[in-house]
Structures are given as structure tokens and as C-alpha cells.
Amino acid sequence: MALRPEDEALLARLDDEALYERLLHAHGGRELSPHKRASGLVHALRALPGAEKAFAMANDPDPEKRRLDALTTLMMPSSFAGYPPALLHHLALHFSRVAVAARDKSLVWSRTAHEAALAAFFALAAHEGYLTSFVSRALGEGASARDVDRLASSLPLEPLAALGAEALEGARRLGTETRAALDVLTRVPGAAARSGAPAPFVAKVVARAEALRATAVDAALEPIAQALDDATIANELTSRGIDVLVQVVPVWEATGRDEAVERFFVERAEPVCWEIQRRKEWERFASLFGSPEDVSRGVSQKATFRLVESLFLRVKADRSKVAYAAACAQFFVFYTNVVATLDRQIAVGERALDVCPSHRNGRAVLASFLCQKAVRLSEGLVPQRSALDDAWALVTRAETLFPTSREVKETRELVERRRSGGFPRLP
Amino acid sequence: MNPFDRYDIDPSSPPSAITERFRELVADADESERDALRAAWDALTLHPESRVRAAFFSHPETREPLGAPPRRKRPQHEEPPRLTLVGLLVLPSLVALLPAVPTSASASVPHFPLDLSDPALTEK
């Protein structure tokens, strides 16, 4: 007996409900119970190009061959451009729920789901007609056009604001949820790009996310800044100040190695370094920066110089960050007090000039190291010719770096004398 | 939990439809649940922005409408027997044909006097 169209519709709805339950369990875990209206997502997916194949895979008569991969790909495309607003609405809510449910099981999947949810919300924001109609229906008769417009434009961005609030709320403790929120905020540019929304909207969303993240990072750094101020007033920058600065490293890690934390470190550590230098407490540089092994391995929680290295790479990669080039160079100069050998000091000095070629202090310090090496090569009663050639090259480089240096002038005279067969000056 | 999901209300419903749904829920609920229902109704109907926000974060109704259910089949109706003249006759009462029943029921019951020597009857 042929089924009535109404019966066909009922069967299709039951099929959609069953398939949505499978999708929800696959994405978020079996403990989630689906709401019946959410199966409208499955119905809306059928209208997408490529849906027929994906549904055939999902409903394969052979249970062994049933796969949800293709449907999941349709639900998480590289771009949501062209997706109907009702489907975007469903997808945004579906992945928001999945992201929260997956937080305790897989942070990676939770973040991926969160990014997909944000992308769908941002894509939905571009459908003003759908949102306006939705809001005016829900507000009921008599709603003012101004209220309708305000809510229609703000609702799709509320998840972003909620992320900012979550990041800010736990910023001082930097617990798991705060870290997750900060991490998702870094993914907003990716989500906005996937949304397929117009460029001005994407720029607005990205700027908003950056502001929210910056506010949370500032809040996380605030206790450290306060403690540094206290150490300055107590004239304990080189003791208590170092202990406080070391606490920046966990904040840097918790915020996903945020550039703002690196800039904070560079700005607040510089007075500490000058004070160490003024007091000639050279060993304190190692307490502040960590040993070269710690820094190069990148495992020590106290190796603050990793922040400088990271900022150095950022400045090298993006010249728009050139304002921090001189600061990086100065920190490499300070760091020469930590490394053990002359060759390594020269290598660190070279990095200072690599990031900021005109850095006066860097040029002076590197010229000095080069002269020291040239003197060593020229030492001995009968130095090898090749060693003297190397010494000459070093002193020539030192001269280009800092021609007015007295040390360079004296070294040049020494090397010249040795090359012409003279003896080293007696001590 | 979102009130639209919890109480199974279409998020696009106007306030009047929400009130109607809560009226049904309150009628079916026991006293302990009614306060929670009233609070939820207050939140959804007295604060329009809260209602819109809750509606937005609940899955919209986008499923195809189901249409009317099929009409129920009536049970087969049996034709009553045809009425004839014989059926209209008033037949004599059979009760009247039975032998007469004594008017006093006690007359036919034998008398058994109480045994007052029985200690159970004399016990005080």
C-alpha cells in the first residue's frame, strides 16, 4: 500500500532524528541527548551540494560501511559561504555544544569545534534578513525597529563576548577554562576567514577578539606588574625583581606564547638588567635569563630568555614590529654575560646586530669581542700565518663596527706588528 | 538548560503561544514544580531580550511540517435487526405467573433461642 505524503514526511523526520543522534554522539559523546528540533540540521544539510553522497555513506545498508566522515566534512567546510542561514544557525549551536562537551576529553577537538561554531555564527551575522525576521518574531508585536536591529546585529557576536568574559574572569589563576578561552580567541581570525562574511565584518571581529584577548592578558600580568613596582620601591630589583620576572614564563605559556607577554617582559626586565649591570652583579643575569642550555632546550619554566628569542623571531619575520628590534638587540647584549665562551659571546653579539644592525651598544660590544679574539689569535711567540690572517679579518670587521673604539685601534696595531714579524707587547 | 529546549517550545513562538504552553505545563504539574514553571514563564515573557537571547541559542524549528494524521477508521457498524409488528407486542409478565412469595421473610426462618449458659455470652 502506498504511503500518504504525510506519512512519508513522518518517516523522513524519524530518519533525520536517528541520524542526528548518531552525529551528536560521534562529535560530542554518547552522554549527550539530542533535542528533536536539532534534527532540522540534517534536513537542512540535504540541500547542500555533495549531500547525496554523504548521506549515502552515512546510511549505507552495510553497518560496517556506514561512515559519518563526509557529513562531518559538510558540516565543517573550509568556507561557510553559500550556506543557508537556518543551517548556519543549527551548525553554530551544534558545534558550541560539542565544544563544551569535548573540553574534558580532547582539547584539540574542542578547539576545532569551537572554531567551527564561531565561523558559523560569524557567517550567520551576514544574513541580516534572517536575523531581523527571527528577532522581530521572538520579540513579538510592538517591538521597535531599533531594538530589532540592535539585537539582530549583536546576537551572533555574543559567543565571542562570552569567550572574552571567560578569559578575563580567570585571568589571574589561568586555569584550564581560561587557557581554552584564550586559545579559542587566537583562532578567531581563522574562524572569521572561514565564515565567508564581508571583509569589513571580518576585520571588525578580528579586532574585537584581539582587544578581548589583550584585556585578559593584561589582567594576567597585572599582579606581576604590581609586584615589580613594589620591588622597585623597595630597591630590590636585582633580587625580588628577578623572582617576579621569572613568573612571566608560566603566563607566557598559558597564553599560548602571546606576543604581548614578550613585550611586557622586554619592557619591564630592561631596568632590572641595567641595575644588575650598574651593581656589577653579573651572575644575576643567569638567574634572570636561565642558563644557555635551559634556553636552547626550551624546557625550563624559568628560562625567561625564551621570550626574547621568540620576540626576536617575530621582529625578523615582520618588519612592522621594528619598534622592538633595539630592545631585542639590547637583551642579546645583556645575554653575552651569561654565555661561557668568547666564540658564543661573538655569536650572541652577531644576533644582536642581525635584528638591529645600527644598535650602538651591540656594535661596541661585538667589536670588543672580535678584538679579544684577534688578540688571542695573535698571541704566542710564533703565531701561524693563517691565524694572523684571521685576526686581521676580525679586527677589520671590528673597525667597521666601531671605528672610534680605542680597543680596536690598539688591536689593529698589535696584529699589524705581528704580521710584520714583531713580537707581542710584553705585559 | 535553555527553557525553549527544556519545555519543548518553538523558539519562534510569540509570547502568547509561550504563555499557552506554560498554562498546559502548569495544569499537568504538581505543586512542587509549579514555582519553577512560573519563574521560567516570568523570565521568558516579562523580559523580551532574555526571551530573544534564549530563543537564539535554541535550535530553530526548520523541520518539514508533518501535516494532518490519517483519519481514524470507524468500527464497522452493524445494522440493527429489522423491526416487525411482532417486536412491538407487549408480552405478559413472567413474574406474575410465579407462585406468591410470603410477605414476611421471618415467618419462614426457624427460631433458635440463645444458649445463655454459654460463658462467651455471659462474660462481662
Quick one: pLDDT at residue B68? 75
Could you give the CA distance from residue A217 to residue A404 in angstroms, rounded to a whole number?
Answer: 45
Mean pLDDT in residue range B97-116:
67
pLDDT at B115: 76
Task: Check residues A394 and B85 and name the one with the higher pLDDT.
Answer: A394
From chain B, the residues in CB contact with A147 under 8 A are: 48
Asked which of A263-272, A413-422, B81-90 is least confident by mean pLDDT, the reply is: B81-90
Residue by residue, what is the 3-state secondary structure of chain A?
A: CCCCHHHHHHHHHHHHHHHHHHHHHHHHCCCCCCCHHHHHHHHHHCCCCCHHHHHHHHCCCCHHHCCCHHHHHHHCCCCCCCCCHHHHHHHHHHHHHHHHHHCCCCHHHHHHHHHHHHHHHHHHHCCHHHHHHHHHHHHCCCCCHHHHHHHHHHHHHHHHHHHHHHHHHCCCCCCHHHHHHHHHHHCHHHHHHHHCCCHHHHHHHHHHHHHHHHHHHHHHHHHHHHHHHHHHHCCCCCCHHHHHHHCHHHHHHHCCCCHHHHHHHHHHHHHHHHHHHHHCCCHHHHHHHCCHHHHHHCCCCCCCHHHHHHHHHHHHHCHHHHHHHHHHHHHHHHHCCCCCCHHHHHHHHHHHHHHCCCCHHHHHHHHHHHHHHHHHHHCCCCCCHHHHHHHHHHHHHHHHHCCCCHHHHHHHHHHHHHHCCCCCCCC
Q: Do B64 and A13 touch (CB under 8 A)?
A: yes
Share of chain B above pLDDT 90, in %: 18
Q: Is B38 on the interface with A (CB under 8 A)?
A: no
Return the C-alpha torsion angle A84, A85, A87, A91, nearest 10.
130
Cβ of B14 and A140 within 8 Å?
yes
Interface touch A86/B62, C-beta < 8 Å = yes
Question: Of chain A residues 81-110, which have a CB less than 8 A from chain B?
Answer: 86, 89-90, 93, 96
Whether the Cβ atoms of residue A322 and residue A358 lie closer than 8 Å to each other = no
Compute the average pLDDT of residues B99-123: 68
* Most A-contacting residue of B2, B7, B13, B52 (CB-CB within 10 A), to test interface: B52
Q: Tens digit of pLDDT for each residue in A48-95?
A: 998 999 999 999 899 888 899 999 999 999 999 999 999 999 999 999
Contact B67 A141 (CB under 8 A): no
Give the confidence band of A427 by pLDDT, cuts at 50, 70, 90: very low
At B101 the pLDDT is 61
Q: What pLDDT, on a 0 to 100 scale, did the predictor assign at position A280?
A: 92
Cβ of B67 within 8 Å of Cβ of A9? The answer is yes
Whether the Cβ atoms of residue B26 and residue B38 lie closer than 8 Å to each other:
yes
Chain A / chain B CB contacts < 8 angstroms: 85
Could you report the predicted ipTM of this complex, rounded to two decimals? 0.77
pLDDT for A323 beyond 80: yes
In the block, cell 518574531 appears at A137
Q: Say whether residue A34 is in contact with chain B using an 8 A CB cutoff.
A: no
CA distance B19 to chain A (A): 13
> What pLDDT does A328 receive?
95
Q: Which of B10, B52, B62 sits opposite A139 (nearest CB)?
A: B52
Give residue-wise pLDDT tens across range A148-190: 999 999 999 999 999 999 999 988 888 888 898 999 999 999 9
B58 touches A at CB < 8 Å: yes
Write the pLDDT tens digit of every residue in A369-393.
Answer: 999 999 999 887 677 888 889 999 9
Mean pLDDT of chain B: 81
User: What is the predicted pLDDT for the residue at B12?
Assistant: 85
Q: What is the pLDDT of residue A424?
A: 60
**Residue by residue, what is the 3-state secondary structure of B56-105?**
HCCCCCCCCCCCCCCCCCCCCCCCCCCCCCHHHCCCCCHHHHCCCCCCCH
Per-residue pLDDT at B76? 73
Is B51 within 8 Å of chain A by CB? yes
pLDDT tier for residue A8 given thresholds of 50, 70 and 90: confident
For chain A, what percent of residues have pLDDT higher than 70? 97
Q: What is the pLDDT of residues A198-240, one digit of tens each?
A: 999 999 999 999 999 999 999 999 999 999 999 999 999 999 9
Q: How far apart are CA A387 and CA B43, in angstroms?
A: 86
Where do the domains of chain B lie?
3-56
- With cut-offs at 50, 70 and 90, classify the pLDDT of residue B104: low
**Nearest CA-CA distance, residue A60 and chain B, Å:** 23
Percentage of the residues of chain A whose pLDDT score is greater than 90: 77
Residue A142 has pLDDT above 90, yes or no: no
- With a cut of 60, say whether residue A111 has pLDDT above it: yes
Is A35 within 8 Å of A97 (Cβ atoms)? Answer: no
